[in-house]
Amino acid sequence: RALLSPVIGRSDSGSKRADQSESTKTMKTQEKEHDGQLDFEEFVHYLQDHEKDLKLVFKSLDRKIAGQVSADDIVNSLRDLGVHISLQQAERVLQSMDKNGTMTVDWNEWKKSPTLQPAENIPEIILYWKHSTIFDVGENMMVPDEFTSEEHMTGMWWRHLAAGGGAGAVSRTFTAPLDRLKVLMQVHGSHGNSMCIMSGLAQMVKEGGMRSLWRGNGVNVVKIAPESALKFMAYEQIKRLMGSNQETLGISERFVAGSLAGVIAQSTIYPMEVLKTRLALRKTGQYKGISDCAKQILKGEGMTAFYKGYVPNMLGIIPYAGIDLAVYETLKNTWLQRYGTENGHPGVFVLLACGTVSSTCGQLASYPLALVRTRMQAQAMVEGASQVSMTGLFKQIMKTEGPTGLYRGLTPNFLKVIPAVSISYVVYEHIKMTLGVQSR
């Protein structure tokens, strides 16, 4: 862990809390008499057990059983955990512990290194770093997260999913007015109807009061749980079909598996997407609720109405997932190459920045398809509107509104990213603590 902390690590406050908690737990275990005090003999036992833990970590890195750890050992061990660093980075880590200039670290140098901190095993180091990237920004095209074999066996994966689902539900509820405004601007915004953020919000309040700002949010929250579960299960099955036994896939493999998992999950819950759009666009008194909306659509338009806009929605997953993953990995690895071994590690704010930029790039690439999807879903609600195909809508928008017409509603969509990510992160961490999932 000492070897990895300059490269990966976690936030200082989180690290201190975890170390204090671990130390307290270990000291209480060594305190045999349970009198609230630790005598000399008990303290010696604590030091012996701590040294055993350090020895186990050292042996796990010393793969050649040479009695010393080299830069190659560090690179290979991290690669198995899905973390890639250069040989030069590993050598800089070794220099902080190497006392005799051999560019290797033996057991004596390892245990005396001032950077050592207690930990049970190396994989724990990356758990927080890895799962802190699960942020919900109100989009349905996010690539599923990956979980370790230990998390699969202990059932921690479903706790992470539950925490992510709960965080998504809360963050989407808080940002629902902006989400509904985006849908209105996508459908009704044009040169003839220059709807802006303030006029759009005022129009919604005037038509249906403050409660109208949250129209369509109920079905949006309801679909989070099945969508997350389906995407995760499909992702795991696709990984097996691809013949990958690794816990962490490469960018190209994860792009393929994530995109296919997204297509499967979206295909299953897509009717709820249509309901969300119709409910967000409805006028006061048009529908009594979700079930009434579904009945009216089925009666008036048939079953096919629940899959309007399906093709552009599926096509949108491909550029979103590909660009999001590629940009995120590139930014994160660039940061690690420049600063990873000198002044820190990719903490929460760096990961947030990488995630926000990558998500923004993915949204910019897929947004025109999302807009066309929404307009296709809403066609039957616009009086006198003909049923236009996907390509027909593209041509129509380009002809009447120009290229900027493909990005109607993008501003409120971006405005909700920062509050959605912030709320999602706070709620995610609290739900994880409640469910017994520790942020390592």
Kindly state the average pLDDT of the residues 274-281.
Answer: 88
Return the pLDDT at 438: 57
Q: How does strand 105-106 pair with strand 68-69?
A: antiparallel
Better-scored residue on pLDDT, 120 or 281? 281
Provide the pLDDT for residue 427: 83
Decide yes or no: CATH 3.30.9.10 for domain 129-435.
no
For residue 94, the surrounding DSSP H or E stretch is: helix 87-95
Please give the residue that has the higher pLDDT: either 418 or 205: 205
Is it the case that residue 429 has pLDDT exceeding 80?
Answer: no
User: What are the backbone angles phi and psi of residue 122, rounded to the nearest 5°?
Assistant: -60, -45
Average pLDDT over residues 260-288: 87
Higher pLDDT, 290 or 355: 290
- Residue 382 structure tokens: 């616009």
Q: What is the pLDDT of residue 346?
A: 65
Which residues contact residue 364 at a Cβ distance below 8 angstroms, ignoring those fewer than 6 apart?
none
Q: Which of 256, 50, 280 is nearest to 180 (CA)?
A: 280
The whole-angstrom separation of Cα 281 and Cα 203 is: 12
Q: What is the dihedral of CA 256, 262, 268, 271, to 10 degrees?
A: -140
- Interatomic CA distance for residues 39 and 20, integer angstroms: 19
Per-residue pLDDT at 52: 75
Nearest to 313, CA basis, from 359, 372, 401: 372
Q: Is 226 exposed, middle or buried (0-12, 13-18, 19+ CB in 10 A)?
A: middle
Which H or E run contains 122? none
- Domain locations in the chain as residue ranges: 12-110, 129-435
pLDDT at 385: 61
Closest by CA position to 353, among listed 338, 337, 334? 334
**Could you tell me how many residues make up the chain?**
440
pLDDT given for residue 6 in this prediction: 40
DSSP string, 146-191: ---HHHHHHTHHHHHHHHHHHHHHHHHHHTHHHHHHHHHHHHH-SS
Q: Is the pLDDT of residue 125 over 50?
A: no
Per-residue pLDDT of 6-18, as tens digits, reads 443 333 344 444 4
Quick: pLDDT tens for 110-121. Answer: 766 654 444 444
Report which DSSP code applies to 243.
T
Which pLDDT value is given to residue 17?
42
pLDDT for the residue numbered 33: 53
Residue 35: per-residue pLDDT: 58
Q: Which two tokens stand for residue 261?
A: 């998992």
Does domain 12-110 fall into CATH 1.10.238.10? yes
Do the beta carbons of residue 293 and residue 282 sit within 8 Å? yes
Tokens 């270990």 sit on residue: 26
CA distance 274 to 306: 6
* Helices 12-30, 40-61: inter-axial angle, 10-degree rounding: 120
Please tell me the pTM assigned to this model.
0.61
Which segment of 68-72, 88-92, 117-121, 316-320 scores lowest on mean pLDDT?
Answer: 117-121
Contact 429, 422 (CB under 8 A): no
Find all residues with CB under 8 Å of 220, minimum gap 6, and list them.
Answer: 172, 176, 179, 276
Mean per-residue pLDDT of the chain: 75
Angle, CA 427 vertex, CA 426 and CA 433 arms, to 5°: 95
pLDDT at residue 406 is higher than 70: yes
CA distances from 236 to 149, 223, 224, 232 (A): 12, 20, 18, 6
Greater confidence (86 vs 292) lies with 292
User: What percentage of the chain has pLDDT greater than the value 70?
Assistant: 73
**Contact predicate 324/143, CB 8 Å:** yes
Q: What are phi and psi of 418, to 5 degrees?
A: -65, -50
Q: What is the pLDDT of residue 295?
A: 92
Does residue 277 contact residue 182 with C-beta atoms inside 8 Å? Answer: no
Q: Which residues contact 209 (CB under 8 A, 6 or more apart)?
A: none
Model pLDDT for residues 31-51, shown as the tens digit of each residue: 555 555 666 777 677 677 767
- Mean pLDDT is highest, among 223-227, 367-371, 436-440, for 367-371
Question: Mean pLDDT over residues 227-247, rounded?
Answer: 77
Mean pLDDT of 158-171: 82
